[in-house]
Structure 1
Amino acid sequence: MNGRDLTWQLPLRLTAGTYILDSGLRKRDPDDDTAKQMHGFAAGTYPFLDAVQPVTFTKALAAAEMLIGAALLVPVVPARIAGLGLLGFGAGLLGLYARTPGMRRPGTPFPTQDGIALAKDSWLVAIGAALVAGDRR
């Protein structure tokens, strides 16, 4: 990464990478109740996840978050690669926002009070897109 790229990429990569890595680290050893809650929420939006055991799902989610977070934090990983991972992950989270009842105000893309936490994940998509579009390698 050259100096010019570092200037604009570093704040994006540090912010998103730290956040995602921490989220994964906190999920890596879930208790049964937490795993069931997370799995149920995700499977409600993505029915194919019903076939996965809740603890297995949560551990896989944790591993994916740790991998994406580390890719963002390690500057030798090209921005395009780290950005694609973040873009895909963020899109999955926005799918939860778009498809879960009660997350958006009727007839609008804007969140209800309950939807604010998921709507905030749009910044992950924006950072991922910026890293992909701005990588000149």
Structure 2
Amino acid sequence: MKLMRAREVPGRVATGAYVLHSGVEKWNGDEEQAAGLHGMAAAAFPFLKSVPPRRFLKLLSAAEIATGVALLAPVVPAAVAGAALTGFSGGLVALYLRTPALRKPGSIWPSQAGIGVSKDVWMLGVGLGLLTDAASRRRGD
């Protein structure tokens, strides 16, 4: 069994703790939180309109918890943790890009409302870094 490499630890621990905490905080979210998050997600991804807001919040929370645990668990391979984080954060970046109110008009740069979501790009970078590192190890680089 391979444990995470020392160079993975800072990114995995910082990101994993942040994502896990976010998921735990959402787990018992109220109707208002569920409606707000669901509304934003459904506006960016219309297929989510058919998912009830409370169910969406539980699914989002579970995805965050699972991603956070995968990042924090030293026995989870970098490729698996990286894939989970890249998928999760890729969805957040897509939400940011598909929600015009989060960006300055005609720009990719965040509006005041978009600063919180735009910062999720760092998680995408960590996830892609883990995937890249895992791929290079397989090739023997």
**Structure 1 residue aligned with 2:45:** 46
Whole-Å separation in 2 of the counterparts to 1:102 and 1:49: 19
Give the Cα–Cα distance (whole angstroms) in 1 for the partners of residues 101 and 40 of structure 2.
Answer: 13
Paired position in structure 1 for 2:71: 72
Q: Which runs of 5+ in 1 are unaligned?
A: none
Name the stretch that deviates more: 93-102 or 19-28: 93-102
* Residue of structure 2 equivalent to 1:24: 23
Shift of 1:50: 0.7
- Cα deviation for residue 41 of structure 1 reads 0.8
Equivalent residue number for residue 133 of structure 2? 134
Structure 2 CA distance for aligned equivalents of residues 52 and 111 of structure 1: 28
Task: Name structure 2 gaps, 5 residues minimum.
Answer: none
Q: Does 1:10 align with 2:9?
A: yes
Q: Which moved more, 1:104-113 or 1:28-37?
A: 104-113
- Superposed, 1:58-97 pairs within 5 Å as 58-97=57-96
* Bigger fraction of residues in helix: 2
| Partner of residue 36, structure 1 | 35
Letter in 2 for 1:79: A
d(CA) in 1 for partners of 2:103 and 2:37? 20
Return the letter of the residue paired with 1:87.
Answer: T
Tell me the CA shift for residue 108 of structure 1. Answer: 2.3
1:1-54 Cα shifts (integer Å, max 9, x gaps): 46xx62210000001000000000001112111111111111010111111110
**2:109 counterpart residue number:** 110
Query: Structure 1 stretches (4+) deviating beyond 6 angstroms?
Result: none
Q: Report the alpha carbon displacement of residue 71 of structure 1 after superposing the two structures with TM.
A: 0.3
TM-score, length of structure 1 as denominator length: 0.93
- Kindly report the root-mean-square deviation, in angstroms, between the aligned alpha carbons of the 2 structures: 1.3
Alpha-carbon distance between aligned partners in 1 of 2:126 and 2:35, rounded to the nearest angstrom: 30
Distance 2:105 2:50 in 1: 31
The Cα shift of 1:109 comes to 1.6
